[in-house]
Every structure is written in C-alpha cells, then in structure tokens.
Amino acid sequence: MNISAIITAVAVVGIVGLLLGIFLGIASIVFKVEVDEREAAVLEALPGNNCGGCGFAGCSGLAAAIAKGEAPVNACPVGGEAVGNKIAAIMGVEAGEAVRNVAFVKCAGDCEKTTRNYEYSGVQDCSMMQYVPDGGAKSCNYGCVGYGNCVKACPFGAIHIKNGIAVVDREKCKACGKCIAACPKGLIELIPYPAKTAVACSSKDKGPVAMKACQSSCIGCGLCVKACPQGAVTVENFLAHIDQSKCTGCRACKEKCPKKAILELS
C-alpha cells in the first residue's frame, strides 16, 4: 500500500472541496436574490390552497403581487376577511371592506322539471356533450347535464349533483372559481353571499320553446322587470338577469315570476 499516494489523494480531494466551498459561498453572495420579508410573511398568512381563485398562479404569485402593491391585501377568496385583515397588518394598510362571493348555478332544470330527447349511456363527462346529438339528452341545450365536472374541480367539496343538476353548498364555497372554469356551458357565476334572489336559468330560447323543454325555464316575459322598484332586473335574449349591485332583496321579482325561475337564496 502506497501511503504517500493515499495522502496525496486525500489532500487533492480536500483542496477541491475547499475550493468548491469557497466558490459556492462567493456565488451565493454574488447571485443572491433579495426576498421581501413582507412577501414571505404574506405567503405564510395565505391558506396555501393554490386554487388560483385570486387570478394568480397560486399563493406564492399572489403574495409577490401583494408585496409589490400589484394586488389588494384582501384578494384571497379562500381566506376571506380574516386573512385579508392579517395581510393588511403585515403590509401596514387598511384591508377595506371585502364582499364574500359564492358560486351559483344558473339552472333549476332537474330530472323532474326537464324533458329528455333520448336516453344517453355514453361517457359521463360534461365536456363530451358537445359531441353528442343535441348537446345531451336533456331537451334544453342550455341546461346542466349533471355529470359533475364542477364537482371534480371543486377543492372544497362545495358542489354536488342533486337530482340531475349541480347544487352549491353556500357555506362551504370559497369562490375560488374552479367550478366556473370546469363548466363547459358557462352555467356557474359568482354572486355576493348576501344576495337574496338569482335567476336559475340560462336558456335563451323563446318562451314556447323554453317551456316545452323545462318547467322552470325563464320565458323572458318581463314581469320581473316591471315588478322591480330598483331597476335591478333586465331581460336580454329572452333571459332575465339581476344586477346584484342594485338589488335590495325585496323579492318582488321572485313573486311575479310565473315560471318560478327566480330563486330565493336566503
């Protein structure tokens, strides 16, 4: 055994290791990325769901935007007012008033209210309905097909299928918007949690056609428009819509709707 060779090898390895350590140490200083301490604190305050409901690519993206002043401190729909206030304290600003939103499915055409053109036994996927005759078995081409793409997309278990249509649990909903993106027919929207009424229909068919397809379809008669003292209800393309910013919750539109297409929420 050559002792000198072993010593030389050990020395070489030690010197190389030392040089690498020095190089990495210098590199860490030269290429150091300054991190805003507030950004780290904001990220820690966020719930960490990474749902994208704030409009950014996850919680880290939102934290960076808040730290730079590019997003409001109460931008997280999942954390709500509590998280907004905590982040406001970190940033040293006022949180401002945050309005809680919830998802609402604009369809009430369950299995008992709608008619069917045929029996469908294919792939149980909402997005596939564009490839089948008439957009699905239900006579209303605008209605919920009930195969649960929105259910699979919701990370909070706030939406489920009941009697053939999607139904939102308002207490569980965090307004992340994933169900909205998952619905190929665009039947889900965000409305204020305090909203008292909403139109549970998306049909743009004329009255006679709409009534034939669904018992609770809006027929665009305009009685709700005349009944609303605040001018919060409008009808376009034979479909009523409630402007929640104008609605005072008097429920006059609901009482006047002959097809019960306007639901009372709370």
Q: Could you give the percent of the chain with pLDDT greater than 70?
A: 97
Average pLDDT over residues 168-183: 93
Model confidence over 116-135: pLDDT tens digits?
899 888 899 999 998 998 88
The more confidently predicted of residues 259 and 79 is: 259
- pLDDT of 251 reads 95
151 near 145, Cβ under 8 Å?
Answer: no
The more confidently predicted of residues 139 and 16 is: 139
- pLDDT of 224 reads 97
Q: pTM for this one?
A: 0.78
- pLDDT of 31 reads 66
The more confidently predicted of residues 19 and 27 is: 19
* Residue 168, pLDDT above cutoff 90: yes
CATH topology of domain 99-193: Alpha-Beta Plaits (3.30.70)
The chain-wide mean pLDDT, for the chain, equals 89
CATH topology of domain 195-266: Alpha-Beta Plaits (3.30.70)
Domain 37-91 has CATH 3.40.50.1820: no
Average pLDDT over residues 101-105: 95
Work out the pLDDT band at 34, boundaries 50, 70, 90: low
* Residue 35, pLDDT above cutoff 70: no
Domain boundaries, the chain: 37-91, 99-193, 195-266
- pLDDT of 94 reads 82
- Answer whether 99-193 and 195-266 agree in fold: yes
- pLDDT of 171 reads 93
